[in-house]
């Protein structure tokens, strides 16, 4: 089922993988200091940081929905469509 409530995930070391139904609606901010952010949701926009190492993706998928915040310092973040 698509997420209904806000989600906040944070860790210091390690890769993060978040699978969401392809029909989900949500607002997302995902950031890593030393890694990459990959998203299968085309509506999300990669952002360039003044710190060349930091990678982030931010945006709105669908209309409305919860806020999702995902952050790690040393690792990759992967957002995947499910179903």
d(CA 77, CA 70): 8
Read off φ and ψ for residue 42, nearest 5 degrees. Answer: -65, -20
Task: Measure CA of the first residue to CA of the last residue in the chain; give whole Å.
Answer: 10
Could you tell me which residues come within 8 angstroms of residue 42 by beta carbon, excluding any fewer than 6 positions away? none
The whole model's pTM is what? 0.86
For 24-33, write each residue's pLDDT tens digit. Answer: 999 999 999 9
- Supply the pLDDT for residue 27: 94
- Supply the pLDDT for residue 31: 93
Q: Which 8-state DSSP code applies to residue 55?
A: E
What percentage of the chain reaches a pLDDT higher than 90? 69
Mean pLDDT value across the chain? 90
User: Cα angle at 39 between 36 and 45, to 5 degrees?
Assistant: 85
């Amino acid at each position: 089922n698509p997420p209904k409530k806000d989600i906040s995930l944070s860790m210091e070391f390690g890769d993060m993988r978040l699978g969401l139904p392809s029909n989900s609606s949500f607002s997302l901010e995902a950031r890593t200091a030393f890694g990459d952010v990959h998203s299968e949701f085309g509506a999300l926009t990669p952002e360039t940081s003044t710190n060349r190492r930091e990678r982030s993706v931010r945006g709105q998928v669908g209309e409305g929905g919860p806020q999702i915040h995902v952050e790690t310092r040393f690792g990759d973040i992967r957002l995947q469509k499910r179903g």
